[in-house]
Chains A and B, each alone.
Chain A
């Protein structure tokens, strides 16, 4: 089955702790993305990566970090510096970035709650 997987589905974290959200795709897509969604709002871009070992900040990168060591994987770390981390986090991928075929496909999401 081809697709994007995110784990875990639900994650609870104590204040002051870092936490890493997993995103894996087996679609052979070059580009991957992380978005944050707050209740009743649209999606806001955190980080994106167009190719292995390279990534760029999105609109709300502060308090987050990423890595792209493998094409299939793009983990997101929510650090203790993120002031309001409770949200729904969505990972996406596309064949490549920066072209008219940049259709993005989404994973099922991870809901992070800070206690």
Chain B
């Protein structure tokens, strides 16, 4: 099946720093989604991307749908303690028609 490689696996940063994480795929996706999951909770949708090259912001978060349609990145600016959690990318399309493919997640820790 399709796979998404998400990196980095974990990040330890100081409050106020910017963060960048990305996902890459060996095949083309039609949709890229970025979710955040707090411990013991369900993932919450942060940003949805539907078009190659699309750059979308949601507050301090910015995500882009790669031109090749095989990658996406998420940036968080000026991190705060409540940014702590696991961030997942997910892609839809190609051979996984009808099913989302998830990355393994990036664990973000923010030190005050």
Binding site for B on A (CB under 8 A): 4, 6, 41-43, 45, 48, 50, 56, 58-59, 88, 90, 92, 97-98, 100-109, 111
Contact = CB atoms under 8 A, between A and B. Distances in A.
B33 interface: yes
Interface in B16-44: 30-31, 33, 35, 40-44
B100 A104 contact: yes
Nearest to B44: A106
Interface in B85-112: 88, 90, 92-93, 97-100, 102-105
Given A48-B98, A100-B93, 20 more contacts: A6-B42, A41-B105, A42-B103, A42-B104, A43-B43, A45-B99, A59-B1, A92-B42, A98-B97, A98-B98, A101-B50, A102-B98, A102-B100, A103-B31, A103-B33, A103-B48, A104-B100, A106-B42, A107-B42, A111-B40
Contacts of A106: 35, 42-45
B8 to A, nearest CB: 14
B99 A90 contact: no
Contacts, number: 58
Contact of A109 (B40, B45, B99, B102): B40
A101 B72 CA distance: 17
B99 A58 contact: yes
Interface residues of B, number: 25
A98 B50 CA distance: 14
B88 A42 contact: yes
B45 to A, nearest CB: 6
Contacts of A56: 98
Contacts of A102: 31, 92, 98, 100
Contacts of A58: 99
A66 B31 CA distance: 27
B41 A41 contact: no
Contacts of B30: 100
Nearest to B89: A42
